[in-house]
């Protein structure tokens, strides 16, 4: 950017950052480093350039896509884009001076070298969600109200259900955040949205400080991402941030005391209510289930001795496992807090289409059902999936993210007919199986080096072998369930790639063998 560089003291920079609470604030010349050139990083850099900030983008990637993204950002006005492993080892200067702000993509850990240097230099670090919240008001009008959703599992399903319910009520709404569409992209669309259903990961919440949603929910918590957060306690603390400054309703899981305690400890807007959801009969100020119906005893005046019918379990779909019912109730609580009527909730559930890779039936042949739940990237999610079936040949394994498997295996050992292990190193899962399910056959797929451009090919081969091994063990009445309880990046590009590889392998196997 042209012109004279103005170097501010840390207190002056802090004062300026505090004033940046709308699109129309003075962002011009603000020196910003954007960490990451993926979906959220690109959206953050593009937004900041449009606002007039001086922007340098860094990423360790060297792929063709990263270089294409970099060229686009240079064309629209980025001061520089630095790619490659060396680019992320130290904090770059912007316009010849230290940046006043770092905006990080959610996957970057706080102890990453560049972010750690920013902390040592007392430079503020925001996430893309924090930036989105600050620019949501434009020409005096906010873009949309936020309904925020987090949890160890079920976030994407719940945000999709909430979006469907809002749309059924005739509102202009969209699911954003960790679900796929960056919030910044939605804010810049030429649409006057009424509401955003916002999926937030623990990573995104770690870097967000100013959010004040209309309603918020923690769906559930279980050990996950311990490697990123450093401890389970730190992970819970970041999840709990979703409740801060909530305006109308903090929704919690009445069957999990940790989420209720988070609400009790939250600093919220005066008048904000605590509302529980349960898959059992609800108490006052809760949503729950009575005789197969989803009911509301929270958002009606006569809640002490009445309940409003919101829909039936059958509205969720032909198969509605307990965790899907819980997700539907959480979504219903969020939109009820926003003012959506019961009839729209029923219509929203009926029109909701689950995404791929979430307990997705792939095929049924010779009495064997093949199910893809690649989205089950941790033990808690895999447990919910396993609980849905009676006799399972389980395909599992991958990057453990620092979690344990003993409880998962012990709880479901009785339903396991055999286990096919994938993953570059699934020794922790194998050891848990040996301890708690010693009679269950464990069939490892030999690991291969899968880095670089060969990763996709090797991953597909791994899945083909896994499917073949599972088919040898499965008989009439069994379910072959691919619910890995682990992340995918050791052998696949993503959980979606892993799920797609499974579906392709199943169809190819059945076409050859019937």
Q: Which residues are annotated as a binding site for ATP?
A: 151-157
Q: Which of 447, 451, 387 is nearest to 416 (CA)?
A: 387
Task: Specify the residue for token string 């219903």.
Answer: 332
> How far apart are the C-alpha atoms of 133 and 95, rounded to whole Å?
26
Instruction: Give the DSSP per-residue string, 247-289.
Output: SSEEEEETT-HHHHHHHHH----TTPEEEEE-SS---TTEEEE
Task: Specify the residue for token string 């969600």.
Answer: 129
Q: Which residues pair with 277 in a beta bridge?
A: 253, 287
> How far apart are the C-alpha atoms of 395 and 73, rounded to whole Å?
42
DSSP state of 91: P
Task: Specify the residue for token string 């960790």.
Answer: 178
> How far apart are the C-alpha atoms of 122 and 65, rounded to whole Å?
33
Q: Which of 149, 152, 170, 172 is nearest to 161 (CA)?
A: 149
Residues annotated as binding site? 151-157
Name the packing angle between helices 342-351 and 322-338 (round to 10°). 140
> How far apart are the C-alpha atoms of 502 and 461, rounded to whole Å?
10
Q: Beta strands 101-104 and 124-127: pairing type?
A: parallel
């Amino acid at each position: 950017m042209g012109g004279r560089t103005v170097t501010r003291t840390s207190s002056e920079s802090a004062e300026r950052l505090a004033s940046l609470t709308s699109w129309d604030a003075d962002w011009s010349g603000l020196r910003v480093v954007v960490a990451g050139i993926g979906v959220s990083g690109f959206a953050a850099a593009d937004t900041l350039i449009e606002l007039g900030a001086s922007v340098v983008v860094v990423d360790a990637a060297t792929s063709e896509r990263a270089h294409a993204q970099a060229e686009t950002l240079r064309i629209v006005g980025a001061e520089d884009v630095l790619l490659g492993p060396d680019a992320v080892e130290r904090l770059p200067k912007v316009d010849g001076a230290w940046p006043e702000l770092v905006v990080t993509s959610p996957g970057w850990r706080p102890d990453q070298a560049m972010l750690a240097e920013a902390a040592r230099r007392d430079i503020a670090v925001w996430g893309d969600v924090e930036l989105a919240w600050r620019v949501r008001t434009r020409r005096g009008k906010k873009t949309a109200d936020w309904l925020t959703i987090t949890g160890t599992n079920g976030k994407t399903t719940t945000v999709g259900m909430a979006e469907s319910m809002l749309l059924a009520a005739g509102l202009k709404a969209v699911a954003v955040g960790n679900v796929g569409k960056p919030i910044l992209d939605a804010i810049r669309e030429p649409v006057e949205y009424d509401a955003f259903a916002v999926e937030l990961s623990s990573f995104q919440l770690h870097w967000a400080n100013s959010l004040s949603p209309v309603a918020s929910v923690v769906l559930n918590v279980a050990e996950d991402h311990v490697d990123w957060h450093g401890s389970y306690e730190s992970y819970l603390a970041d999840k709990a941030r979703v409740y801060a400054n909530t305006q109308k309703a903090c929704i919690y899981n009445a069957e999990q005391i940790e989420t209720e305690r988070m609400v009790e400890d939250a600093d919220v807007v005066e008048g904000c209510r605590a509302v529980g959801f349960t898959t059992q009969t609800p108490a006052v100020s809760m949503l729950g289930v009575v005789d197969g119906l989803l009911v509301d005893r929270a958002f009606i005046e006569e809640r002490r001795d009445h309940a409003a019918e919101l829909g039936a379990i059958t509205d969720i779909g032909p198969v509605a496992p307990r965790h899907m019912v819980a997700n539907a109730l959480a979504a219903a609580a969020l939109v009820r807090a926003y003012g959506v009527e019961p009839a729209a909730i029923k219509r929203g559930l009926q029109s909701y289409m689950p995404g791929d890779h979430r307990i997705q039936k792939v095929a049924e042949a010779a009495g064997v059902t093949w199910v893809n739940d690649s989205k089950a990237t941790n033990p808690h999610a895999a447990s919910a999936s396993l609980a849905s079936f009676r006799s399972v040949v389980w395909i599992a394994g991958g990057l453990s993210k620092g979690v344990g498997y003993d409880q998962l295996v012990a709880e479901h050992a009785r339903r396991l007919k055999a286990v096919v292990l994938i993953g570059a190193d699934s020794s922790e899962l194998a050891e848990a199986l040996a301890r708690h399910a010693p009679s269950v056959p464990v069939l490892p797929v030999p690991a291969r080096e899968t880095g670089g451009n060969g990763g996709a090919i090797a991953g597909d081969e791994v899945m083909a072998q896994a499917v073949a091994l599972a088919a040898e063990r499965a008989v009439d009445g069994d379910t072959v369930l691919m619910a890995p309880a682990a992340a995918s990046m050791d052998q696949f590009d993503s959980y979606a790639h892993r799920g797609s590889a499974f579906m392709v392998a199943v169809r190819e196997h059945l076409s050859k063998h019937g």
